[in-house]
Amino acid sequence: MKTFCGRANPSTGALDWVEESEEYDYHQEIARSCYADMLHDHDRNKKYYRGIRAAVARVQARGERVVVLDIGTGTGLLSMMAVTAGADFCYAVEVFKPMAEAARRIVEKNGFSEKIKIINKHSTDVTVGPDGDMQTKANVLITELFDTELIGEGALPSYEHAHRYLVQAPCEAVPHRATVYAQLVESELLWRWARLQPVAVEGARLAPPPALGLCAGAHSVCDVQLSQVSPGSFTALGPLCTMFSVDFSKPMSSAFQSHSSQFEARAGGRAQVVLSWWDLDMDPGGSVVCSMAPSWTYAQPETAPWRDHWMQSVYFLPSERRVCEGESLRLTVCHDDYSLWYGLRSPSQQDAQPEAPPPRPCCTCQAHLVWTRPRFGELNDGRRTESYVRALRSVLTADSVCLGVSDGSLLPVFAHMMGAKKVFSLESSRTSQQVIKQVLEANSMEGGVELLEVRAEQLSSKDLGGEQVSVLMAEPFFSSSLLPWHSLFFWYCRSALAGVLRPDAAILPRAASLHLLAVEFQDLWRIRAPCGSCEGFSVSPMDEMVQKSLDFREAREAEPHPLWEYPCRALTAPAEVMTFDFTQRVPQQPISSRGSLPLIRPGRCHGVALWMEYQLIADVTVSAGLIGPVSEKGECEWSRHRKQGVYFLRSPWESSGRAAVSYSLTFEPALGDIKMDFSVAPQ
């Protein structure tokens, strides 16, 4: 059966109707999931196996029949481990239908069909009894319900229900316990992701609106690969605190709770950010521990296991506060059934009443609804701002009529500050308008920029008060963009606005270019690598399903990834492979580029990294990818503000001799997309 799905095209802005089969949707979900990453996480798998063997042995030692409940079974791997360890029967629950089907195939392929029952339901819908999904309650509970924040996938309600209805008391649990850790730090780098900082423009100061400083920010967790955040970029103001533990072998509640840790500040500074992660004890004695700690906490950082399905968390305090070395502080963490948040206070601030827990953060300024954390970092990047100011300075005159086309951009504000006659800004939403309006009001610039909530193709000279635009400007940034070339939406806007542009109008940026280089990833390759087998069990049906999803596509696709979090080595020189001239309208005919890049370093070529660079004026370019030269060893420094595109090769290429990466790229104007294909061959 085929269905038609309406999707907004991020490049053209048009509503596209895409025909898809149900099977395609399922395979795409699996292909883009983290299952491959988890299957390649040997540290996790081995420790789960050790914990499962020990739990099964404890039940057998009591002379009981071992009945296992595996919630969130995924591929069925943990259930197969349990049966191999001696379990008599296992109920494996998986709510995601295509994954449950994959688990059935994997369990059958490994010969466990008689001892493992796959239940395609949410665990809270599972029933026990003669006519139920389970014939009897389980005495071993195995789960993998965790995310970076530990409880974000609904682990607590699932455990609460399982202990009430699906497992015996007492029961063995794997993992047995989780412990959450946190550390209070000052970090200018990380704090830039949470608050708009003052911006210097031509000797003037653009102040952030007071509402932004008073806002507690977004409540959602900021998950990152903290191993890639250098300890030199933050100052620890306190010790690593044990915040709370959860015993999964006992009944629990998913209701609101708060926990505190009191300590003396180890250094003075501005308390801004809480770094957090958690450990899993796979057994009651804590002898088998699976840790999410970043690599810089290890005596030998290179021995730290890499995971992408579980990372670390960054929490921003509602407001920064100055603390003194030796000051007594109390860090409090609260959680509901799905999320965590932190608060800080000095115990001396307490009065006779019990201390009230910090309220859950909620954005009141609207900026956190418009700007993502990387976007905050981009707006706070002084060097980047100077590039745009320098470019504006070269095209602005006292008679300039400027039009900005970006989402929640400060460029129109800059143009007004720099003396443009009139400034207009197209905003994608009413919320975005309100945020920019706050910026203008905070700096006594009311009326300095006229905010227009209208699509580019609908804009007329009447909307501009009869004016013709002499400077069309963009960063370009659009909240709908996922891949680097989705920012070409600006090109389509520029084409639609041709009727309101002066013949000699300056277009900023004047052009964009697509760049690429072939890379060897340190770890990211795992998320798309075939598994075949995992800890001795065949999981090849998973590889078959992922491959089938790739075969459904007319052409291979790139994926968006923030490469600053995923170290890689360049195996070719970076190359500019396609140019888009914004001074002209979008062409009717496709733009194609073909060629090859020689591999100049030995290594394992996993794929190709792609990014956009924007030529603002002749001598000012801003990169959304590489932000410095590649080192002699091939090390790369990537922009933290934008995601880059990654095209994974079907099979990695061992580059020990002379070889080259061939590329074929075609920009389809009607689709706003770039069709691409890459291959590696010896020279």
Q: Put residue 393 in one of left, alpha, beta given phi > 0 → left and psi -120 to 50 → alpha.
A: alpha
> Is there a contact between 638 and 515 (Cβ–Cβ < 8 Å)?
no
Banded model confidence at residue 33, pLDDT cuts 50, 70, 90: low
Is 434 within the bounds of a domain? yes
CATH number at residue 293: 2.70.160.11
Specify the pLDDT at position 246: 97
In total, how many domains does the chain have?
4
Q: What are the pLDDT digits (tens) for 522-573?
A: 999 999 888 888 889 998 887 776 666 555 444 478 999 999 999 999 999 9
Longest dimension (CA), the chain: 90
* Domain-located, residue 605: yes
Mark whether 346 and 487 lie in a shared domain: no
Other C-beta atoms closer than 10 Å to the C-beta of 187 total 19
| pLDDT reported for residue 34 | 62
Same domain flag for 323 and 343: yes
Is residue 159 domain-resident?
Answer: no
The answer to whether residues 296 and 427 belong to one domain is: no
* 527 in any annotated domain: no
Last residue of a domain, one of 128, 144, 160: 144
**659 and 600 belong to one structural domain:** yes
Answer yes or no: do 61 and 135 share one domain. Answer: yes
Which CA distances in Å does 188 have to 124, 197, 272?
44, 10, 9
pLDDT digits (tens, 9 = 90+) for 48-70: 999 999 999 999 999 999 999 99
pLDDT digits (tens, 9 = 90+) for 253-274: 999 999 999 999 999 999 999 9
pLDDT of residue 24: 47
- Whether residue 110 is predicted with pLDDT greater than 50 in this model: the reply is yes
For 373-400, what is the mean pLDDT? 97
- What's the whole-number mean pLDDT along residues 122-137? 97
Residue 524, judged by CB atoms within 10 A of its CB (0-12, 13-18, 19+), counts as buried
Q: To which H or E segment does residue 181 belong?
A: strand 177-186
Boundary residue ending a domain (485, 508, 531): 508
What's at 210, amino acid-wise? P
pLDDT at 487 over 50: yes
User: What is the pLDDT, as a whole number, of residue 553?
Assistant: 46
Instruction: Please compute the mean of the pLDDT values over residues 89-94 and round it to a whole number.
Output: 98
Tell me, what DSSP letter sits at residue 419? Answer: T
How many CB atoms are located within 10 Å of the residue 142 CB?
Answer: 28
- Domain match, 315 and 184 both: yes
Per-residue pLDDT of 321-365, as tens digits, reads: 999 999 999 999 999 999 999 999 988 655 555 678 999 999 999
Which pLDDT belongs to residue 555? 47
d(CA 329, CA 331): 7
Over the chain, what is the mean pLDDT? 93
Helices 97-109, 77-84: inter-axial angle, 10-degree rounding: 30
DSSP notation for 117-146: EEE-S-GGG--BSTTSSBSS-EEEEEE---
**pLDDT tens across 458-468, in order?**
999 999 999 99
Same domain, 214 and 308: yes
Q: What is the residue-wise DSSP string for 475-533?
A: ----TT--SGGGGGHHHHHHHHTGGGEEEEEEEES-EEEEEEEEEEESSGGGGGS--SE
Claim to verify: residue 120 and residue 67 sit in the same structural domain: yes
Mark which of 508, 538, 555 sits at the end of a domain. Answer: 508
The backbone torsions φ and ψ at residue 163, rounded to the nearest 5 degrees and listed phi first, read: -65, -30
413 and 428 belong to one structural domain: yes
Q: Is the same domain home to 360 and 378? A: no
What is the residue whose two structure tokens read 């920009």?
667
Residue 163 domain-assigned?
no
Is 548 within the bounds of a domain? no
The parent domain of residue 610 ranges over 511-522+567-682
Which candidate in 23, 29, 101, 153 is catalytic? 153
CA distance 502 to 421: 15
Read off the tokens for 88: 């008599």
What's the CATH code of the domain at 391?
3.40.50.150
Of the listed 94, 144, 149, 520, which one is catalytic?
A: 144
Average pLDDT over residues 10-19: 67
Is 427 catalytic? The answer is: no
In-domain check, residue 167: no
Does residue 312 share a domain with residue 227?
Answer: yes
Does the active-site annotation cover 186? no
Residue 536 lies in a domain: no
**Cis ω before 560 (30° cut-off from 0):** no
Query: Are 578 and 673 part of one and the same domain?
Result: yes
In whole angstroms, give the CA distance from residue 116 to residue 94: 13
For residue 575, CA distances in Å to 526, 606, 613, 620 come to 26, 17, 11, 18
